[in-house]
Structure 1
């Protein structure tokens, strides 16, 4: 081996040594628990007594049991409210705030980012009060003459999931806006000047210049918000507890119930594995679609 080869080998070894502590922590607290969960999903186990081999039966139940399958469907519905609507709201706010600098921009950003600072449990408690029969939402509807639309939003079979989803929209819109505003700052100002010389108005300028330059930020926002939707637990647990009936039950809440209340750890593990695989597939597709064409 030449001296240059030995030097490169030594540098590579030092690089691995620097990475080793973080890799060990990741393996201990992420990879190994995930593999153990996959192992438990193959057993019928109550968490206390000796488990029995179940093979793929738990996975079959995930796809055939209406309650388990319905929880996944509810999570997919929440993707609309946790991901798509916040991204649209973030783009709209970015279009309004980014074209011209206005006084108080720091205040705007702080206001829209506030939901990210407040714990989700506090958010859930607050919105549970707002959605109550005598809450601010119904009082506002009464005040504008729409008293016929008032209801117990979180207890209504038709509106409960939508009401919970709108809480997620409120929480994540500010995050999307901040991501897009940070992306706007890296756009070459000459692109905007060229668009204005060509007679582009605010809408055409945003669609033709700003939006294509936010491809990376859009991918990050879609990934983060989609994972938040599919892995949702806090807001649902605090606001509705999965009710009324099973209308707002999501996989995260159902996994908790199965593992700690029903004593079905194997089934809960199988649902967790299916949920993890679903998240990985969606994240992979998002990253593939967001790649800049070569």
Structure 2
């Protein structure tokens, strides 16, 4: 009887412990992630100021989004920033990885850490620093004057033509460190014998990277693409600080800023929720499509 009792008590105890370990994280997830998402979807179907009782209006907010030129402009800017937040950082990360992965120079670890610093800095701090650098009398224009390129001086963040590129370049500066670290971590898992074989066949360093390193980094490149792509579509604080809300005019306006403005400045929380839901749907759909294409490609290669 004693032996049977132990068998019945121990599994129950293990299950209880597992539930106790999972419960805090589950409560936090439900409270701060799932419930706000469901609430946002619900309010996107209502005319709601954020204070008054919400009035159900169906899909009217989404129909208005379809006609909203500011929303189309913001979405277009988000996809424009993909060039700077995703494509350039991935290419730059691959370039730096090719230089550092097999380098035997002393102090390389410190150098890598320094390159990663922008990624861990607060976006608000980054925005303040670069806003100062881009000022008309700031260090960038002063440097151009010193080297005899005064005709290149511009009010970088106040110029309708150059402001999107200035903001995008800061995004590249922030994101390339993440890509570099992912690629450096991935390259450590590549079998060293592959490089030795490539050397035997006379491959130079560029060929080694192209034919050995790059195929081995396929998964890391995919992860870097998805993470930086999401950052480009949901960017808010960096653009807000640099351009004070999407200026000049609305040349750098992004969807997250429109959500903020409609929700808090214009008291159109329902419309802002519809924007947020639409943006989240775009992010999830494109990310899922990328992973599906990658898995399909892996299945094709396996066969």
Would you call these one fold, judging by a TM-score over 0.5?
Answer: yes
SS across alignment from 1:134: coil
The answer to whether residue 276 in structure 2 is matched with residue 272 in structure 1 is: yes
Q: CA deviation at 1:13?
A: 5.2
Other-structure match for 2:96: 93
SS across alignment from 1:153: coil
8 Å CA contact 1:46–1:265 kept in 2: the answer is: yes
SS across alignment from 1:158: coil
Looking at CA atoms only, which structure, 1 or 2, has the larger radius of gyration?
2
| Cα distance per residue 1:174-227 (max 9 Å; x no partner) | 111111111111110001011111111111111111011111211221111111
Structure 2 Cα separation of the partners of residues 13 and 144 of structure 1: 70
Q: Normalised by the size of structure 1, how large is the TM-score?
A: 0.92
8 Å CA contact 1:160–1:247 kept in 2: the answer is: yes
Other-structure match for 2:250: 246
SS across alignment from 1:152: coil
Q: Normalised by the size of structure 2, how large is the TM-score?
A: 0.90
**1:38-57 paired onto structure 2 within 5 Å:** 38-57=41-60
Structure 2 Cα separation of the partners of residues 126 and 224 of structure 1: 24
Other-structure match for 2:259: 255
**1:9-28 paired onto structure 2 within 5 Å:** 17=19, 18-28=21-31
Q: CA deviation at 1:19?
A: 3.3
8 Å CA contact 1:43–1:55 kept in 2: the answer is: yes
CA 1:149/1:11 → structure 2, altered by over 3 Å: closer, same or farther? farther
Structure 1 outlier segments of 4+, above 4 Å: 9-16
Structure 2 Cα separation of the partners of residues 229 and 28 of structure 1: 26
How many residues of Structure 1 are paired with residues of Structure 2 in the alignment?
A: 289
Q: Pick one of 158, 161, 183 that aligns with 1:158.
A: 161
**1:108-127 paired onto structure 2 within 5 Å:** 108-127=111-130
Q: Which runs of 5+ in 2 are unaligned?
A: 1-7
Q: Which moved more, 1:207-216 or 1:20-29?
A: 20-29
Other-structure match for 2:105: 102
Other-structure match for 2:209: 206
Structure 2 Cα separation of the partners of residues 201 and 14 of structure 1: 59
The answer to whether residue 140 in structure 2 is matched with residue 137 in structure 1 is: yes
SS across alignment from 1:47: coil
Q: Pick one of 202, 207, 222 that aligns with 2:225.
A: 222
Q: Which runs of 5+ in 1 are unaligned?
A: 1-5
8 Å CA contact 1:215–1:290 kept in 2: the answer is: no
Structure 2 Cα separation of the partners of residues 198 and 23 of structure 1: 54
The answer to whether residue 69 in structure 2 is matched with residue 66 in structure 1 is: yes
Q: CA deviation at 1:144?
A: 2.7
Q: CA deviation at 1:14?
A: 6.2
Structure 1 Cα separation of the partners of residues 138 and 277 of structure 2: 39
SS across alignment from 1:190: helix
